[in-house]
Structure 1
Amino acid sequence: MPIKRVISKGRVPVKIYTEDVAENAMKQLENVSQLPFIHSHVAAMPDVHWGMGATIGSVIPTLGAIIPAAVGVDIGCGMNALRLSLRADQLPDSLARVRSAIEAAVPVGFDGHAEDAWCAEGLKRVAPGLKPILDKHPKIHARWQSQLGSLGGGNHFIELCLDEAQQVWIMLHSGSRGIGNRIGMHFIELAKREMEHWKIRLPDQNLAYLPEGSKHFDDYVEAVGWAQDYALENRRQMMRLIIEALRDRLPPFETTTEAINCHHNYVAREHHFGKDVYLTRKGAIRAGEGELGIIPGSMGAKSYIVRGLGNPMSFCSCSHGAGRRMSRGEATRRFTRKDLEAQTQGVECRKDKGVIDEIPAAYKDIDAVMADQTDLVEVVHTLKQVLTVKG
């Protein structure tokens, strides 16, 4: 579907790919559109909803500045999906032991691996880039070694899914863990200090930015780039651990070449509408022409493997998921464990009060989200989860 709404109250327009936008998200989009360094326009994806400073589901092109809170604190958060040679009829009738095996292999929540140096190969790839960052910003330090190859909590997950041909897929969602959070929070605060120093007034203090050439700009670009690489490696290591765990619980299988690993919280240097910009995708994935991506639904809904159409008005982007319809607090107040059990019927997953905030009804309808972005992507595979691991 084409652009559904346009906000014209700011310095540049905001082009929105849905009618389903909450009032608080609309206000945030207006705030971003007022900033003096936004190029061309702001795009809002069909899963758009309120976030810190900038809306989740927004794509923001900037000239000569980056907004750290728009990139967010789960820097490099994204998805990884891999198709296996197994079919649905080769899975056991009960997937409880399979879920237990995955949970034993991949730390969830705040947990990490028992030893910091558990994965020498992965650490070797990411460790060298962190030292110069920590030398300049020692406050950033966090448990990054032991958390490499771990899931985290909240909306992060590991799933086994079946596609339209009843083929089995592994799909996971995670990011840069504690170290990414520290990097994000650290530079958000530094950006706020920059605004105070220069007495710059903003419509929202969380839109504090780092101008190119300022004291901390280059340090942030270096740190955010490292966190994005760490997030990619984190997902790569989790996928390896999951495959190893499944080999002990499922019939022999091969992994296929159809694999996707993509960010949806990040900033990248790209060319759009005649300018080289810093493009921030806050809860959006790149959907360049022919590029594969992943759009997950909630615990009880469908997910999609998509191919980008390279739509220039969305800055070659699409949604990163269904998008929340209500806050975690509201979901916990509104729903019960029985509601969770009913809405995740047929899925092997946690069904306790600790994950009620992730109940499917707390999210937008993924089919409606997909219907709103037919101009942005085409569906390659439709996946339905049969097992979900949550932190």
Structure 2
Amino acid sequence: MASQLRGNDLRQLGFPEGRAIGLALAQLQRKEHKRLPQTEQLALLKTILTNPTDYLTDLAWSHTAAALLPAPSRHVALVPRKEYATFGAEHIEQGAIHQMETAMKLPVTVAGALMPDAHHGYGLPIGGVLATDNAVIPYAVGVDIGCRMALSVFDLPAKYLGQRTQELRNLLLANTRFGGGRGWDRGQRLGHDVLERDEFATVPFLKNKHATAVEQIGTSGSGNHFVEFGLVEITDPTNDLGLPLGQYVGVLSHSGSRGLGASVANHYTGLARDVCKLPAEAQYLAWLGLDTEAGQEYWAAMTLAGDYASACHEQIHRRLAKALGEKPLAKVENHHNFAWKETLADGREVITHRKGATPAGAGVLGIIPGSMTAPGFIVRGRGVPASLASASHGAGRLLSRTRAKAELGEAEVRRHLADYGVELIGGGLDEAPMAYKDIHTVMASQRELVDVLGSFTPKIVRMDGA
């Protein structure tokens, strides 16, 4: 076992007198660090001391890193934490809860809620819902602005999926594009009204984003983005889709605003951090007032990015419907990673941020996916005030991407997919079904938030990758 470091060891390393030393020594007593040789402990501490900003989002070292940074010159103080509702608390990691607690201390925060699929993210946790007073927080919206689910239901029998597997696989390969920077070749592109929007000319930051938007429209990103054929089963006769009970073939897609949304998020987060100097642990929750020029610019750019994400899905589904030679009987679409101007039950007007959370107002339809080997659910919101009329946006991660890659094997994942009869094109270990929470457990934690109208079970899945 490594010998124990003391305060003088850290002072010799260059640690300043103060809280950082005590926090670092306490962290070194945790079992994952205590077993490290002293030379490795010192090397780690030196790295944190040299680049503390790199560790502000690290679950283990964020408090130490924050204590190493100088207090901002225009400090915005946090306030006592406001109460918020948590759904499925027993299934939510402490990192996400810590982030939500921090968000509830912002002076602009009015109300909040944490969904059962919540996990750690930048700023607001993924699965966090935050209502603010006349302020928008770019990182409480998220990087992939307007990321959404879209489902098309076709009048094709369930057996079609098994009989035409290879044909459907080829349709996905021919009619979808995935990955960072990927777009359609010039002769393959489809036009869309969103590309003619004035914001590309009137919002200064967007003036050089139009060409990329034209190239990438109708494509999907990497990570957990997908397009898949699967089995739709309608189980509620009052489903609001006009569909009889029974089974159908469906196309389900999940992706967002591509490079456009990511560039908007990062640019305006930088602006927000410049004008809103929060304590280090809350710095990614910096906001822009909607009564400022920057706030209005971000709102316009965010709205455009959300509409662009919807246009991407519209083109994906249009291409696949044409390839199938079918018109959809019904469509359902919902988005997350967005901010809405809403009125709370008590009449207060707020900006509601849903970062990885599904709008679930009374009568609002949506899709909550599971994983490649677990069903997703078509739902109708119940408008519960405690959840800020929200629900989960999926099952939520059980393993981080790093842990999934380290702990899961390619052969193991392929066997798992084969056991469930799922054909996968692309994808990686970080998106393996085992990296996600049990969707049934998540749904059980939000029975009061949504009614289930039907399900979608994936069968042929396309993701980024070879």
User: How does the TM-score come out when normalised to structure 1?
Assistant: 0.90
Cα deviation 1:65-98 (Å, max 9, x = unaligned):
1110110110000010011000112345351331
- The 1:308/1:17 distance shift into structure 2, 3 A limit, reads same
Alignment-derived partner of residue 394 in structure 2:
321
- The 1:65/1:153 distance shift into structure 2, 3 A limit, reads same
- The 1:184/1:237 distance shift into structure 2, 3 A limit, reads same
- Identify which of 94, 97, 113 aligns with 1:23: 94
- The 1:33/1:380 distance shift into structure 2, 3 A limit, reads same
Alignment-derived partner of residue 221 in structure 1:
299
Which structure 2 residues correspond to residues 102-181 of structure 1 after superposition, within 5 A? 102-110=172-180, 111-115=182-186, 118-120=189-191, 122=192, 124-136=193-205, 138=207, 143-164=212-233, 165-181=246-262
Distance 2:394 2:248 in 1: 22
- The 1:84/1:117 distance shift into structure 2, 3 A limit, reads closer
Deviation at 1:279, TM superposition (A): 0.5
Choose 101-110 or 172-181, whichever is displaced more. 101-110
- Give the secondary structure class of the aligned counterpart of 1:204: helix
Task: Check whether the contact 2:366–2:380 (CA below 8 A) recurs between aligned residues.
Answer: yes
Query: Which protein is bigger by CA-based radius of gyration?
Result: 2
- Identify which of 376, 386, 409 aligns with 1:336: 409
Higher relative CO (Cα under 8 Å, sequence separation at least 6) belongs to 1
Matched, 1:262 2:350: no
- Give the secondary structure class of the aligned counterpart of 1:29: helix
Alignment-derived partner of residue 440 in structure 2:
367
For 2:422, give the aligned amino acid: V
Deviation at 1:214, TM superposition (A): 2.9
- Identify which of 142, 155, 159 aligns with 1:89: 159
Task: Check whether the contact 1:76–1:231 (CA below 8 A) recurs between aligned residues.
Answer: yes
Larger helix share, 1 or 2: 2
Alignment-derived partner of residue 343 in structure 2:
271
- Give the secondary structure class of the aligned counterpart of 1:329: helix
- The 1:332/1:298 distance shift into structure 2, 3 A limit, reads same
- Give the secondary structure class of the aligned counterpart of 1:255: coil
Alignment-derived partner of residue 188 in structure 1:
269
Task: Check whether the contact 1:117–1:146 (CA below 8 A) recurs between aligned residues.
Answer: no
Deviation at 1:29, TM superposition (A): 0.7
- Identify which of 129, 136, 139 aligns with 1:66: 136
Deviation at 1:10, TM superposition (A): 4.4
For 2:393, give the aligned amino acid: H
Gaps of at least 5 residues in structure 1 are: 1-8, 248-252
Aligned residues: 369
Deviation at 1:322, TM superposition (A): 0.4
User: How does the TM-score come out when normalised to structure 2?
Assistant: 0.76
Distance 1:344 1:317 in 2: 31
Alignment-derived partner of residue 293 in structure 1:
366
For 1:387, give the aligned amino acid: I
Gaps of at least 5 residues in structure 2 are: 1-78, 234-245
Cα deviation 1:234-285 (Å, max 9, x = unaligned):
11111101212233xxxxx4420x2111111111111113211111000011
Distance 1:137 1:381 in 2: 40
Distance 2:98 2:130 in 1: 15
Choose 127-136 or 70-79, whichever is displaced more. 127-136
Deviation at 1:139, TM superposition (A): 6.7
